[in-house]
Amino acid sequence: MPTDPTELMLVAADVNGLSSPDLKPWHLEATYQTFDENGQPKDQGKFEEWWAGAEKYKLSYTSTGFNQVEFRNGAARFFTGERTWPPSEEAAVHTYLTRPLHFALALKVKFSEGDVSLGGVDLRCLRPVADGGSAIPSVYPAFCISKDHPAVRAIVLNAETQIFFDKIVRFGEQYVAEQIFIKHADKPQVSISVTELNSIATVVEADLAPPPDAVPAPARKVTLSPGVVAGGKISGYDPVFPPIARAAHVEGVVVIAVTISKTGTLTNLHVISGPPMLQQSALDAVKTWRYKPYLLNGETVEVETQINVVFKLPLQSDFNNSNARPLQPPH
């Protein structure tokens, strides 16, 4: 267990889940329950994965609302059943079972450490910090691990969304949670229970090959929260507080929906909400921003997200719920 929080985060990201290249082939089976915005049961399903390597596996989702099998062999991906990428709830099942901390590394920031008690369990929580050690606001996630080993026990994505990991087991050198619960706005969103996890003695290539009716998977996009992508910003101008808005004492948050391309440029910008006096200034600045390309399982993908441009008096501007100056990721 490293004493440096940033080194500890790297270790935790490496030993949690089932994506380690050192693992022998495995098979996982889990059931999941999704809930509507009122916290009422919406759908239930079964998830399975047969894994023979980072670029050779088969995923299966079976539920009332979504049925699909994905086959991957190298760069090629094929679908049977639904021809779109899984909805956010199903995608969360796969992510938090097999790669719960992969996106922590995408923040490209350093981490500090603090003790926290959740549900009567004492945990070490790792939080992003800016250069110089100043705290990054709570729009960034916090990652909480056990006191005596680097198993993830909770991820606090933001003030409304938390993921809890329970019934931790060892699989090889990895930590795997057999129960995962995702909560949003104090209401259940997804619950996951592992029913089977074992090694595959012999990989049968035919079992992982797509059938003749499989179709190529479409270009992939992922949806990420503003806090997750903010640490990847590498250039761009600060928003300017419009003089007319300053004189009228108008402040607030302009929320802009964007797509981050595979090269890090922004497309499809449009304002979702915010004071009209501030919207154009926010757009003019965000159009100049560039981001590091986002990697998902080693593959560059497009990202759909929102950017929060915060204008508050008396500061000139404050974006991404951070300070008025651009937040520079560490080298």
What pLDDT, in 10s, does the model give residues 62-72?
Answer: 999 999 999 99
Hey, how many other C-beta atoms are within 10 angstroms of the C-beta on 273? 11
Mean pLDDT computed over every residue of the chain: 84
Residue 331 confidence (pLDDT) above 60: no
pLDDT at 106: 63
Which CATH number do you get for residue 18? Answer: 2.50.20.10
Residue 296 confidence (pLDDT) above 50: yes
Same domain, yes or no: 206 and 249: no
pLDDT at 71: 96
Give me the domain span that covers residue 243.
Answer: 223-319
- Would you say residue 74 lies in a domain? yes
Question: Which residues fall within 8 angstroms of residue 54, CB to CB, at 6 or more apart?
Answer: 19, 21, 297, 298
Domain count for the chain, please give it. 2
pLDDT at 322: 36
pLDDT at 326: 32
Same domain, yes or no: 245 and 158: no
pTM: 0.71
What mean pLDDT comes out for the span 58-85?
A: 92
- Would you say residue 262 lies in a domain? yes
Which CATH number do you get for residue 279? Answer: 3.30.2420.10
- Chosen domain end from 177, 193, 218: 218
- Would you say residue 328 lies in a domain? no
What mean pLDDT comes out for the span 171-190?
A: 92
- Would you say residue 155 lies in a domain? yes
SS (H, E, C) the chain: CCCCHHHHHHHHHHHECCCCCCCCCEEEEEEEEEECCCCCEEEEEEEEEEEEECCEEEEEEEECCCEEEEEEECCEEEEEECCCCCCHHHHHHHHHHHCCCHHHHCCCCEEEEEEEEECCEEEEEEEEECCCCCECCCCCCEEEEECCCCCEEEEECCCCEEEEEEEEEEECCEEEEEEEEEEECCEEEEEEEEEEEEECCCCCHHHHCCCCCCEECCCCEEECCHHHHHCCEEECCCCCCCHHHHHCCCCEEEEEEEEECCCCCEEEEEEEECCHHHHHHHHHHHCCCEECCEEECCEEEEEEEEEEEEECCCCCCEECCCCCCCCCCCC
Top pLDDT among 292 and 41 is at 41
